[in-house]
Structure 1
Amino acid sequence: MKTLLAISLMACALFGPAVFAASDAPRERVSFDAGWKFIKGDTPYAGGSLDYERIKDWVLPTGDELLNQPPVRAPRRPRDPEREVKFAHVDFDDRSWRSVDLPHDWGIEAPFQQDLSGDTGKLPWFGVAWYRKTFTLPAEDAGRRIALELDGAMSYALVWCNGAFVGGWPYGYTSWRVDLTPHLKPGGSNVIAIRLDNPNWSSRWYPGGGLYRHTWLTKTAPVHVAPWGVFVTTPEVSAESALVDVAVTLANDTDARADVRVGVRLFAADPQGRAVGAPVASSEPRALRAVPGKAVKLAHTFRVAQPRRWSLRERHRYVAETTVLEGDRVIDRIETPFGIRTIAHTPNHGFLLNGERVPLRGVCNHHDLGALGSAINERALERQLEILQAMGGNAIRTSHNPPAPELLELCDRMGFLVMVEAFDCWQAGKTPDDYSRVFHDWHEKDLRAMIRRDRNHPCVIQWSIGNEIREQWEPDGWRLAAHLAGIVREEDRTRAVAAGFNAIVSGYNGFQSVVDLVGYNYKPAEYAKLRATHPQIVQQGAETASTISSRGEYFFPVSEDKAQGRADFQVSSYDLYTPPWATTPDTEWKAQDENPFVLGEFVWTGFDYLGEPTPYNADVTNLLNFSDAAGRAKMQQELDALGKIRVPSRSSYFGIIDLAGFPKDRFYLYQARWRPELPMAHILPHWNWPERVGQVTPVFVYSSGDEAELFLNGKSLGRQKRGPGEYRFRWNDVVYQPGELKVVTYKNGKPWADAVQRTTGAAAKLLAQPDRAALRADGRDLSFVTITVADRDGLLVPRSKNKLTFSITGPATIAAVDNGDATSFEPFQARERSAYNGLALVILRTKPGESGPITLRAESTGLAPIEVTLKSE
């Protein structure tokens, strides 16, 4: 086990928002998102079934170039799926199909269904669907290699080009590609058909369905830089200079050897990762013989003087421009953003970035975007990161799968550290049709694809090989972990191999020796125990807290029992309540303070997400039974029954921030911890309790100050000083009377921050606040407009649930509405919504190519309406 994992490296991915050089380069990467046809359902197949097990021999060759030693594939079966699948035929009439642009999630569009499982959001994301796209390929593309690249397709994707089957990929979270070249008609019309199939029990949370990430058409010369074929590392970094290694892999898709030269230049990058200014370093092009059908590699090494290092505060990046020449002709050129910085995971001093300790103040997030579903949208992701930064967050765990490329680009740009996670299970599954079904065939390709795509991002600091995998309990389970860790290290030795463990408790089960650090899930008591027996092991909280709450809900009496605080399928926001396995933030922080060697934490979760409505869900993992068909059928019946009877919720309660993006009280508890320099104070609960006059109503205060005095209607209720291991101020015996609660906080004996809660009047009007008023007219930009139910003085009325209706004029549409209520089954795609505890959200999307003013109007019976005007340009 290493005592110090010192690392220096880089950033962006070929398949991410990559930047390509000027028009003299023959490489093109163009969006392939527009103009698709879609239908939910399948086509009859004379061959029987298109189930993966029946046709996997056709799919398995896809991605073989990722393997060190591709296996010898058996000849394809005589029955050819491309001849008998009518939806894939070039002449199939798809005019009755729905027109869509990508990214697209078919599950989020449908109404909620009460007979579906709450564990996956009560939405019909499963089943088979097809996408078709007809496009014209320019005649001048003859002779080029043309690939279809998919950032993610959910799931078991099968692809046809002009009626010919060209490949597929089971795992819905991996970025992958298929070569279309042999089947295309330059100068003519071409058809792509894609079939997706989501098995009903393939996920433990809402995964979404469809071509939910971006698609691209990449055009290159036959000899070109291979996909994800530039890898930049910085093995030596100081304030004076940095050593930069640029490893380049070339692909030759011809039948003849090619003598080429490869040159590299380094540039400073602008905030978007684009090269600017003169080169800061360059190399003479080096000769290379590209062998047909094989990857060939070479490296260039540079010394950069006085490098601008990437950090959370200063997100400096560089660009490596790689040029391939045949004679004097440029045949390929590609730009790869990267960052210069060092990282180290240490057993004694925590995580070091550029030699400075940086506590990991991270969250775990699933990939859905709330009311927008899983369809990727860069602005929605950016908004999430902005909210997390306001709280003091600096790290993300991509739970429990490879993320969209846009997330990592944003983290590079905004200053977040990222644990990129590969799998939620290995060979031993958690649901009947999860990744365990294809693990044997696909784990190596999925893992290598993830790392190669993302290993140039400076934000990435750890590769997680799994989350709470069941092999932890098997005597030889560590062997499979060692195999996966070995694949990671073959691809990238500059970052830590991690995992989320819930089985390692004090003792030794082998897993500690094959990873570079132990990430505990909900085991703060184990930090000190493992330290006592294995002081060389690096530790972090890979998944912490899992405190549950509903925004603006408070139940009485306030119990210290963490299983209490529940009513009406909501959870009290006093932040004292958790599932049995979990802890409050206070418990986790006390353990970290007592064990300062711990790197930090990734809280479960930053945002509420669709599915897993603990504590109101079925315990799927305890019902699994793979012994026989009868046992599996019985499990299905039990899950269905629990889904209908015991799961009245469609989203989680774990989030520090609710599904609509509104902070819960817990947001301010974390802000007080993670931003100690920020003067802030927050009071809970709200102070509208007419039924509680004369009754004890405890008051909590979250503040970055160390002392606080509480006043009720001007009368002091006492001044408190927080002691060691205390993270909130509590006045447990406050007797409710309407009026004003005020807290005055202090730090180091000096006034710090104040906060007030007032009893409000009746709801009288609506307020509207857009997060952004100036939008891009690109058809993707969003504005998130918060609608507040207020009294006549403009104060939020905290228990209001008024029905709201919305109308819009101008070049935008209402993309979705929400309110953050986990029990609400009002549709997301609508022009009305009930407020939940005084708030609702309207998400506006611009129309492509249309500019001008946009006016949103919100109305509710008996309340003064509100209009807000934005601009698309």
Structure 2
Amino acid sequence: MKKENWNKNWRFWIEENSFQLIWTTPKNAREVTLPHDAMIEQQRNPHSKNGSNTGFYDGGSFVYTKSLYVASSQAEQNIQLEFEGVYKNARVFVNGQLAGGNDDGYSTFYVPLNDFLKYDDENEIRVQVKNDAVPNSRWYSGSGIYRDVYLLVGGCAYISPDRVSVKTVECNRDLATLQAEVELVNSIAKSDYNLRINLFDDQQKLLAKTQAPITLFANETRKVKQRIYLKHPQLWDAEHPHQYLVTFELFQNKTLVDSSKTKIGIRKLSLDPVNGLMVNGQAIKLRGAGIHHDSGLLGAMTTEKNAYRQIDLLKQAGFNAIRMAHQPAAPALLHACDELGMYVLDETFDMWNRSKSDYDYSLTFKTNWREVVSAMVRKDYNHPSVILYSIGNEIPEIATDQGLQLCNQICTLIGELDDTRFSLAAVNGLYTVGSDLTKIIAEVTKANEAKDVGQQNINELMTYMDKYLDQIVTNSAISEQLTKVAAQTDLIGYNYMTARYLKDTKEHPERIIVGSETYPPEIARNWQLVEKLPQVIGDFTWTGWDYLGESGVGIPSYQPGDGGFGAQYPALTSDVGDIDITGFRRPLSYYREIVFGLRKQPYLAVQNPHHYGQQVDLTPWVMSDTVSSWSWNLPENAKTIVEVYSGGDEVELLLNGRSQGKKPAGSAVNYRTLFEVGYVPGTLTAITYEHGAVISQTELVSASKVAKIALTAETKYNCKDFHESHNLAYIDVDLCDKDNRIITDDDHAFTVQAIEDNVQIMVVGSGDPKPDISFNQEKSRTYHGHALIILELPDSKTAKLRVTLENGLITEKNIKLI
């Protein structure tokens, strides 16, 4: 079907009265361009019923309308709308009549329009979004039509829009055998057609083709399969993300009546306990990052450029895989993973029939789960980046017989729809034993530590039981239930159960495991086992990228209410990502890169010296409260703790050329060495040694006072294939001294002004997990010297900005964006 982006010229308003006799458009309706997040535009509410789940953003009811003119000449055409994601409980009306909808908020869905249209006239498309039954999410969900919308138009005979797939049957460097499958629909009398399938390289050169004559009967829907053979294919993997274009053309009497196209990657997956995961015959270990769906400062608004930027920065940080938690990934994200080379573990649900929030998807799961699973698999099928499916995250009823039955049913459905990939459940051992968990905790702790287990959520319990967790998850009752789960799936995901790796691979040599969710500080321990055990195919840290909501999980706490799960307003982000919500890499990211063996140069970070000697409460998701800086507002010789992340076997720390000693480094100390140093401004240097020889070194140099604001446009993320409704530009803001050194301990509030009318300031913000300024106010405050401005440029390749610090310092810059 002809596919037209349908994101522009929508009207939007907050619905205040659902019980209206006549539907009208209120005077306060405004024009918006999709994708659009209605939640991020609202003021945060310290008393929100959503609480820290959404970062203290409220839900609401929202309405979008748009007009569609349809000529009478189109009466025999098939017209549909494709929605890639609407949160939540979407209902689509055409001229006041219900035409379709979707409940879960993360699935692509289609709405046929023909039965409701008026011809030679304007038709009102009205989308109602009901996100006011809260809480319904454990993280920031956003609200509204936050992904792309498309208008699909086909003839009397057409290709079903989400029923085009290309399967790699076999492939090697000499030959690839592909099977293309397409669903054809004929709504008229019996007719003869010819289906042509063409395969092109990235230079639009035709490499292979096939065709099939087909007779379709009246009102018939038929699946057609054809084989395509390609000599000397370029195979897809994360290091070589080669793609091809496949086109499908349906002819009637030599007249083209419909067409469709899809990009593919040719690759073959295998999984066994001897070799682990193999891509095109090569064993792969997954260096994985869990991520949520939000776009940081943009809220839930999903664009290809933002997705491309996020995946590229994650890949630069050493990751080769992402886990989309805990709902199906956006098509924009998968396009980025295909093009850049990133393996994807896509996930269906965070809950089944048992709720985790009062009004979450569990309310409709029983009747709708098949629809959600099918939509995810159809969306993912042609994306080579997707290699694994998760059928659910930490599902409580996995401990029950009915839960195991459901596990089997979901995996069976996925296998029927897609036999080329592998399925798992992301299992937290604490969820597998039901009410027996209280008894297990009491036995392990040898004390009455379990009295409040039933009243705590899983994250709170894991924090409370952290020092006992390894003993708890290796309990025999959990072992028994994991065996039952593993019998239903191709492999099994272990959430926070590293302690089981050696035990289970020995006792169950046939079992294949992936660390589907792990504590960031434990990457050294985890990765040593991943590399050692072929049955353990990878590790997915929680998380690779900080996210909105679940506020406070990683915020250090120096007094009650400061951080952790007790963090109060204005806590906004989880604060656990290797990369913050602006795309800035934090110290743990470099630590992980060293553990992965991808970085030889050591890395320096300093524990927050303003809290030296104080008791700091850190959840298990946090290693320390470090900043990579030697610029502090401290008295001379004030005590500091310096962390050096390093390979080799020994590291030396120097301050202004004077050695502060040598200490063991590398795997023997989990790649993290601590020094206590008296603060003196100047140069802090770390030198890594291996058998006495210098491997590499790094340094931090103290900055002086604030002298300027550096504005730098990110020009890398302008992919030729982006067809965006929002032309976004990312401007990094750095607080610098006269020598361009970042000021990290003297943050300033600032305002932003666009000098030209053709530039819109979309959002401004920083990685501060507890901001007191909304992102849409054209002002913010630096955090450790950094901030980010996101612009929208309707038709410009340059932008002139004025940034004014609270101390009066002004920077004006004409920025070239492309």
Q: Fold conserved (TM > 0.5)?
A: yes
Q: Residue 300 in 1 paired to residue 226 in 2?
A: yes
- What does residue 659 of structure 1 align with? 581
Is this contact kept in 1: 2:802–2:811, CA < 8 A?
A: yes
Aligned to 2:496: 522
In structure 1, distance between residues paired with 2:797 and 2:554 = 46
Q: Is 1:325 matched with 2:245?
A: no
Secondary structure at 2:669's aligned position in 1? Answer: coil
Closer, same or farther in 2 for the Cα pair 1:805/1:827, shift >3 Å?
Answer: same
Which among 74, 77, 90 is matched to residue 144 of structure 1?
A: 77
SS in 2 for 1:108: coil
Maintained 8 Å contact 2:554/2:574: no
Within the candidate set 657, 673, 676, 1:714 is matched to 657
Change (3 A) 1:145 1:690: closer
Counterpart Cα distance in 2 of 1:779 and 1:488: 33
How far did 1:871 drift? 3.6
Question: Is the partner of 1:480 in helix, strand or coil?
Answer: helix
Code of the residue aligned with 2:92 in structure 1: it is: V
Match of 2:535 among 593, 597, 600: 597
Q: Measured at CA, do residues 731 and 361 of structure 1 come closer, stay the same or move farther in structure 2, by a change above 3 Å?
A: same
CA distance in 1, matches of 2:543, 2:631: 29
Cα deviations by residue, 1:549-604 (Å, 9 ceiling, x for unpaired): xxxxxxxxxxxxxxxxxxxxxxxxxxxxxxxxxx5333333443453531111111
Corresponding position of 2:359: 433
- TM-fit CA distance, 1:405: 0.5
Q: Deviations over 1:613-655 (max 9, x none)?
A: 24489xxxxxxxxxxxxxxxxxxxxx9xx99984541111211
The change in CA–CA distance for 1:707 and 1:358 in structure 2 (over 3 A counts) is farther
Larger RCO (CA under 8 A, 6+ residues apart): 1
Matches within 5 A, 1:726-745: 726-745=669-688
Question: Is 1:135–2:68 an aligned residue pair?
Answer: yes
**Distance in 2 between the 1:675 and 1:782 partners?**
35
Correspondences of 1:670-819 after superposition (within 5 Å): 670-674=592-596, 676=598, 679=601, 681-685=603-607, 686-689=629-632, 691=634, 693-746=636-689, 751-772=694-715, 780-810=726-756, 811-819=758-766
SS at match of 2:205: strand
Which of 462, 468, 481 is the matching residue for 2:388? 462
Establish whether residue 229 from structure 1 lines up as the match of residue 156 from structure 2: no
Matches of residues 7-406 of structure 1 in structure 2 within 5 Å?
27-45=1-19, 86-87=22-23, 92-116=24-48, 117-198=50-131, 199-254=133-188, 256-270=189-203, 276-278=204-206, 280-290=207-217, 292=219, 294-406=220-332
Gaps of 5+ in 1: 1-26, 47-83, 271-275, 548-582, 618-638
Secondary structure of the residue aligned to 1:698 is: strand
Match of 2:517 among 533, 543, 546: 543
Distance 1:113 1:93, change over 3 A: closer
For residues 643 and 132 of structure 1, the distance between their equivalents in structure 2, rounded to whole angstroms, comes to: 39
The CA deviation string for residues 687-712 of structure 1, in whole angstroms up to 9 with x for no partner, is 24454644542211224555432111
| Equivalent of 1:831 in 765, 778, 798 | 778
Per-residue deviation, 1:35? 0.8
TM normalised by structure 2 equals: 0.85
Relative to structure 1, is the Cα distance of residues 508 and 432 closer, same or farther in structure 2, using a 3 angstrom cutoff?
same
Say which SS state the counterpart of residue 144 (structure 2) adopts.
coil
How far apart, CA to CA, are the structure 1 residues paired with 2:82 and 2:759? 29
Deviations 1:25-51 (A, max 9, x none): xx42111111111111244437xxxxx
Structure 2: distance between partners of 1:419 and 1:291: 41
Which range is displaced more, 655-664 or 345-354? 345-354
| Letter in structure 1 aligned against 2:501 | Y
Aligned length: 736
| Mapped partners of 2:631, 2:256: distance in 1 | 71
CA distance in 2 between partners of 1:846 and 1:707 (Å): 51
Cα distance in 1 between the residues matched to 2:12 and 2:329: 24
Bigger shift: residues 706-715 or 117-126: 117-126
The answer to whether the Cα contact below 8 Å between 2:194 and 2:214 also exists between their aligned partners in 1 is yes
Q: Deviations over 1:466-519 (max 9, x none)?
A: 000111222442111001101101100100011211026551321101111111
Question: Of 408, 416, 424, which residue of structure 2 is paired with 1:490?
Answer: 416
Distance 2:42 2:746 in 1: 27
SS at match of 1:284: strand
3-state DSSP of counterpart to 1:438: helix
Report the secondary structure of 1:135's partner residue.
strand
SS at match of 1:541: strand
In structure 2, the CA distance between the partners of 1:464 and 1:113, relative to structure 1 (3 Å rule), is same
In the alignment, the residues of structure 1 paired with residue 725 and residue 365 of structure 2 have an alpha-carbon distance, to the nearest angstrom, of: 38
Q: Does 1:588 align with 2:526?
A: yes
CA contact (8 A) 1:683 1:755 kept: no
- 8 Å CA contact 1:688, 1:759 repeated in 2: yes
Q: Which residue of 2 aligns with 1:633?
A: none
Residues 1:295 and 1:529: Cα distance change in structure 2 (over 3 Å): farther
Q: In 2, distance between residues paired with 1:390 and 1:717?
A: 32
CA distance in 1, matches of 2:716, 2:234: 34
**Quick one: structure 1 residues 679 and 139, their matched pair in 2 at CA, closer, same or farther if it must change by over 3 Å?**
farther
Relative to structure 1, is the Cα distance of residues 842 and 851 closer, same or farther in structure 2, using a 3 angstrom cutoff? closer
Shift of residue 125, structure 1, vs aligned partner: 4.4
Which residue matches 2:378?
Answer: 452
Question: 1:348-393 deviations in whole A, cap 9, x for unaligned?
Answer: 3232111112210111111111110001122111111121111111
* Aligned-partner residue type, residue 151 of structure 2: L
Tell me how far 1:725 sits from its aligned partner: 4.9
Residues in 2 aligned to 1:269 and 1:704: alpha-carbon distance in whole angstroms: 40
Q: Identify if the C-alpha distance between structure 1 residues 357 and 726 changes in structure 2 by more than 3 Å, giving closer, same or farther.
A: farther
Counterpart residue type for residue 285 of structure 1: A
The offset of 1:609, in angstroms, is: 0.8
Q: Distance in 1 between matches of 2:26 and 2:255?
A: 43
Of all paired residues, the percent bearing the same amino acid is 29
TM-superposed deviation, 1:415: 0.4
- Superposed CA deviations along residues 117-155 of structure 1, whole A, max 9, x for unmatched, are 443334444121111111323454332100011001111
Give the C-alpha shift of residue 444 in structure 1: 0.3
* SS of 1:234 mapped into structure 2: strand
CA distance in 1, matches of 2:210, 2:157: 20
- Any conservation in 1 of the 2:554–2:575 contact (CA below 8 Å)? no
SS of structure 2 residue aligned to 1:107: coil
Q: Distance in 1 between matches of 2:317 and 2:649?
A: 18
Name the CA distance, whole Å, in 2 between partners of 1:872 and 1:593. 42
The Cα shift of 1:315 comes to 1.6
**Post-superposition shift, 1:806?**
1.3
Describe the superposition over 1:265-321 as per-residue Cα deviations: whole angstroms up to 9, x where unpaired. Answer: 222235xxxxx112x2222323242452x5311211122111111122222122222
1:428 Cα offset (Å): 1.1
Change (3 A) 1:844 1:746: farther
SS of the residue corresponding to residue 684 of structure 2 reads strand
Compute the displacement of 1:330 (Å).
2.1
